[in-house]
Structure 1
Amino acid sequence: MSAGRLAGRYSLLRPLGAGGMGKVWLAKDEMLDREVAVKELTLPEGMSPKERSDSVTRAVREAQATARLRHPGIVALHDVIVEHERPWLVMELLRGRTLGDTVREFGPMPPEYAARVGADVLEALGAAHAQGLQHRDVKPGNVFLTESGRVVLTDFGIARQEGQSTLTEQGLMIGSPGFIAPERLEGEPGGPASDLWSLGATLFVAVTGGNAYEGSVADRVRATVTQPVPVAPGPLGPLLAAMMARHPAARPDPRTVVNALRQVAAGGPPPVLRPGQADTAPR
């Protein structure tokens, strides 16, 4: 769709970016006279009319669940619209850059700053998990560092409510290779511990500048389920390895992780973990 007006209210000004889930637009809410971000969700080609209708219904349901989240670390969802046979999500406009872009431009982050970012994201995830919502796509491109200093988790577009099927389970996508927990790669729906694994993989990028598992998509998927977790250098290394433990039950409690991250962020000593908490390999 070219730039125009959506639902008679939102003027689409220009594209901000695009990905597997669709396109994000800079838009103006003419009613409230403010700029917003509008995400145009794309549906797979070749769907029957009923499949498209069911997918739109699921997308609206998932948006409703996301809209109930109220947390400074979660991007605010203002509106959901169905137009041109597809769903559109109207969100707050964030100014800044993603964690991924930051690392690409400036290199690895100091461990204290990475720890602060991780703690903020994990507290946001805790708010979502408390509402029965799993993010399923925590990665460097979905952690936004705003100009004002907020750390914001974005893109709940493939989120999953407990006990309900999702757009992603209907074939749209399941996440981003290299940031998907092993149990989800093996076909399990996952849970809060899966998001914790993905955050560990994200922070690994933050402090090293590279992915925990490199190579092609197939290589990364294979390594995630078969190889020991690499240990990042520095004070966060053992904690990230524990967050990325092969089995969900071996991963630490999220509150323990938040406290450990805050400790490192404050310049304190690295957290002490129990021996054998994760299968690891030196990097």
Structure 2
Amino acid sequence: MSEAGSGRQGERVGGGRYRLLGELGRGGMGVVWRAYDEALGREVAIKEVRAPAGFGDRDIDRLYARMEREGRAAARVSHRNVVTVYDVAMEGRPWIVMELVRGLSLADVLDAEGPLPSARAARIGAEVLAALRAAHAVGVLHRDVKPGNVLMANDGRVVLTDFGIAVVEGDAALTLTGELVGSPEFLAPERALGRSPGPESDLWSLGVLLYAAVEGFSPFRQDTPLSTLRAVVDESLPRPRRAGPLTSVLEGLLDKDPRRRLPAAEAERLLRLVAAGGTPAGGSVSSPNAFGPAATAETEPLGRLPEPGATPAYPPAPDADGPAEPPDDPPPWRQRAAVAALVAGVLLAALSLGGLAWALLNKGG
């Protein structure tokens, strides 16, 4: 069955308190409205869920439950870089009432301006990371960090929004039939392999966002969701050409092993250093080996995705400028950390692999 009813301009929701003024945007699962709060005399944004045609009752119920959880997850995080949720109104389905952030998404900015200077990208990254650290501190994982979910407010703030697939510590998972949770090109390798996410998974997504912001393209994007996930798991990171002092930060955030990923506090410190015009210790370019094969002597592969048929040919990473050089000293955060011996990577169970492949190949019918 499909969902009955949808919002209309001029309609009042939330017991008549909120009057819908006009659409701000829409996607496959709903519409975001500009609305007026009659009780407090202010404009707000309201997210209305709209289940796609063909959804059964069970999936619609799960979608509504996830929408309510989005409101709870975002409301748990009180931070200037996280969108503020005011209310969740229930009228047949949930309507999330939140602050109206005037401005553009980072995706819109990148479309209009192209690649950003490293200092500007670092400032944006530091603000997003501050939002993520605040969320992680109260047990919330965002799981969908990407340029479209980062708002560049007219008042100068950088605001992380859309906690629609966030995980709140202690809550059960709410996954829809055949749904891939998250955007494949921003998904961390451990999540692509079906493993439980942690804060490090959000840090990987931030690294992909920063790479796209300075280089002008997403490093692992392929023609299909499945080939994109294979690239995330198996392919080496294309060597950055424009990142400059951000290069070592990208290396740290985009380590395929979450245990070796750059810690959040150190990442924020380095991002603020680059934003202020500085260069992380050790120079602006990290070891050439950072952009070599994903599997090394130190870190074996996390696993491989199933291959239905022949393995697709991936576009090669851009050629390095000249022959490989001996590795530099390890980055400062790894010198300071007490590194435990790493065990061999664990192969993912065949059932999990088959389930992921089925979900991807059957997504959208």
Instruction: Tell me whether 1:118 sits opposite 2:125 in the alignment.
Output: yes
Q: Secondary structure of 2:250's match?
A: helix
Map 1:205-220; keep pairs closer than 5 Å. Answer: 205-216=212-223, 217-220=225-228
Instruction: Tell me whether 1:104 sits opposite 2:111 in the alignment.
Output: yes
- Structure with the bigger RCO (C-alpha within 8 Å, sep 6+) is 1
**Structure 1 equivalent of residue 164 of structure 2:** 157
Which structure's residues are more often strand, by fraction?
A: 1
Instruction: Tell me whether 1:235 sits opposite 2:242 in the alignment.
Output: no
TM superposition score normalised by structure 2: 0.72
Map 1:191-210; keep pairs closer than 5 Å. Answer: 191-210=198-217
Change (3 A) 1:49 1:215: closer
- Does the Cα contact within 8 Å between 2:73 and 2:163 map onto a contact in 1? no
Task: Identify the range of structure 1 (53-62 vs 107-116) with the bigger mean alpha-carbon deviation.
Answer: 53-62
Q: Secondary structure of 1:236's match?
A: helix
Instruction: Tell me whether 1:174 sits opposite 2:181 in the alignment.
Output: yes
Change (3 A) 1:21 1:130: farther
Instruction: Tell me whether 1:41 sits opposite 2:61 in the alignment.
Output: no
Task: Identify the range of structure 1 (215-224 vs 45-54) with the bigger mean alpha-carbon deviation.
Answer: 45-54
Deviations 1:112-156 (A, max 9, x none): 111011011101100000010000000011111111110110111
Q: Secondary structure of 2:269's match?
A: helix
Name the % identity: 46
The match for 2:264 among 238, 254, 269 is 254
Q: Secondary structure of 1:178's match?
A: helix
**Structure 1 equivalent of residue 75 of structure 2:** 67
The match for 1:23 among 25, 31, 36 is 31
Partners of 1:231 and 1:164 lie apart in 2 by 39
| CA drift at 1:214 | 3.0
Partners of 2:55 and 2:29 lie apart in 1 by 16
Partners of 1:175 and 1:44 lie apart in 2 by 18
| CA drift at 1:15 | 1.1
Deviations 1:209-238 (A, max 9, x none): 111123313332221111012232222122
**Structure 1 equivalent of residue 86 of structure 2:** 78
Deviations 1:167-205 (A, max 9, x none): 346655511121111111111231100000000000111
Instruction: Tell me whether 1:144 sits opposite 2:147 in the alignment.
Output: no
Could you list the runs of 5+ residues in structure 1 that have no partner in the other structure? Answer: none
Let me know the Cα RMSD of the aligned residues: 2.3
Task: Identify the range of structure 1 (209-218 vs 5-14) with the bigger mean alpha-carbon deviation.
Answer: 209-218
- Does the Cα contact within 8 Å between 2:74 and 2:82 map onto a contact in 1? no
Instruction: Tell me whether 1:56 sits opposite 2:64 in the alignment.
Output: yes
**Structure 1 equivalent of residue 102 of structure 2:** 95
- Name the amino acid aligned to 1:190: P
Partners of 1:35 and 1:249 lie apart in 2 by 44
- Name the amino acid aligned to 1:101: D
- Name the amino acid aligned to 2:64: V
